Amino acid sequence: MLFSITVRLQSVNLRRPEFDIKKGLMRPSLFPWAPVEVDSSKAMGSVAEVAPLAHDVVEWMHVATSDLIVFNAMEDEYNRLGSELISSSGDAYIPGVRCGDLRGESVSGYTVRSRGYGTVITPEGSFNVPIRGKTTFAKGSVIAWAAIPDPGTGCQWVLTLLQWRDLARAPVRDRVRFGSSHGLVAPNFFLIPQTVAPVRTLRIGITSDKSQKILIRGRGTKGSYERVLFEDSFEVDAGESEVVYNVLSFPSVPAFTLEIQPSDNTQTVLDYIEIAPPI
């Protein structure tokens, strides 16, 4: 059954200009020595202290490890919601980068730099990622995100992959960062359950380190992630904000996937998602 859905922004309120971007965030379980960081560039110093550059430790390893630190912690935060997000980062040429159903095409850094992009292969098809850029892929039952923070100078090049295998379900009441790969900010995805009412109200808490524009999309559920039901954007100031949206559909609002994408070069954390009527 097809539903016609519209979305209306009700309000954006700055609740507190003061903020603690790291409050309630988790340390990466795989790197207990690492600091809590939202952007991986800020973890580079700690990586260099633990593993200084040497003949067997080169710069791309620092870049990949700093991404692993940030996105492993993002995994831990997302997965404590009863969901499954997985991530990986490394040299996509040899030994290659795999993440769940995703894998980077094993070509040399020379090839990636000459054509300007790398390729990620999924069961739902392939997608390209620009060097020093990012791409979100949503099709069928696959939601993925990839970034190339470092195209390298030799054979190696760094590819970072995320796959949302089981979506966190609203309401969400634990903080989750939007991990950033050296300024390239990843989105996050949440399942908004069906309601028998013709209106579903979303209250979304966002903490941002600076003023920015944030994009939202409503997508289909698993099996139809490529279907975009609505799209909108809102602006927040630095601090803790609450954004209220009304999602309307007659006679009732179906379940949908909520995509939230902050701007690049920001540090952004989801504080909560509350829904009305409640489940």
- 73 and 141 housed in the same domain: yes
Residue 24 resides in a domain: no
The encoded tokens of residue 238 equal 């630095």
Q: What mean pLDDT do residues 171-181 have?
A: 98
Give me the pLDDT at residue 115, please: 97
Q: How far apart, in whole angstroms, are the C-alpha atoms of residue 3 and residue 25?
A: 37
* CB burial readout 137-176, b (16+ within 10 A) else e: bbbeebbbbbbbbbbbeeebbbbbbbbbbebbbbbbeebb
Q: Which of 2-16, 98-112, 163-177 is predicted least confidently?
A: 2-16
- 47 and 159 housed in the same domain: yes
Which distant-in-sequence residues (6+ apart) come within 8 Å of 52 by Cβ? none
- 155 and 217 housed in the same domain: no
In tens, the pLDDT along 83-138 reads 999 999 999 999 999 999 999 999 999 999 999 999 999 999 999 999 999 999 99
CATH code, domain carrying 220: 2.60.120.260
Kindly tell me if the per-residue pLDDT of 1 is higher than 80: no
- 147 and 172 housed in the same domain: no
What domain range includes position 207?
6-19+167-276
Residue 25 resides in a domain: no
- 11 and 62 housed in the same domain: no
What's the sign of the alpha-carbon dihedral 175, 180, 184, 189?
negative
- 198 and 219 housed in the same domain: yes
Query: Rounded to a whole number, what is the distance in angstroms from the first to the last CA of the chain?
Result: 22
Residue 15 resides in a domain: yes
- 74 and 158 housed in the same domain: yes
- 150 and 193 housed in the same domain: no
- The pLDDT confidence band at residue 55, using thresholds 50, 70 and 90, is confident
In tens, the pLDDT along 59-98 reads 999 999 999 999 999 999 999 999 999 999 999 999 999 9
Q: What mean pLDDT do residues 152-176 have?
A: 97
Q: How far apart, in whole angstroms, are the C-alpha atoms of residue 216 and residue 234?
A: 8
Number of domains forming the structure of the chain? 2
- 56 and 136 housed in the same domain: yes
Residue 259 resides in a domain: yes
The encoded tokens of residue 40 equal 């991986």
Which distant-in-sequence residues (6+ apart) come within 8 Å of 206 by Cβ? 214, 236, 240, 241, 242, 243, 268, 269, 270, 271
pTM equals 0.96
- 137 and 190 housed in the same domain: no
Residue 198 resides in a domain: yes
The encoded tokens of residue 169 equal 């379900």
Specify the amino acid at residue 71: F
Residue 31 resides in a domain: no
Residue 98 resides in a domain: yes
- Considering 111, 135, 166, which residue would you say is the last residue of a domain? 166
- 159 and 191 housed in the same domain: no
Kindly tell me if the per-residue pLDDT of 2 is higher than 60: no
- Considering 166, 191, 209, which residue would you say is the last residue of a domain? 166
- Considering 137, 166, 195, which residue would you say is the last residue of a domain? 166
What's the chain's length in residues?
A: 279
Q: How far apart, in whole angstroms, are the C-alpha atoms of residue 46 and residue 279?
A: 43
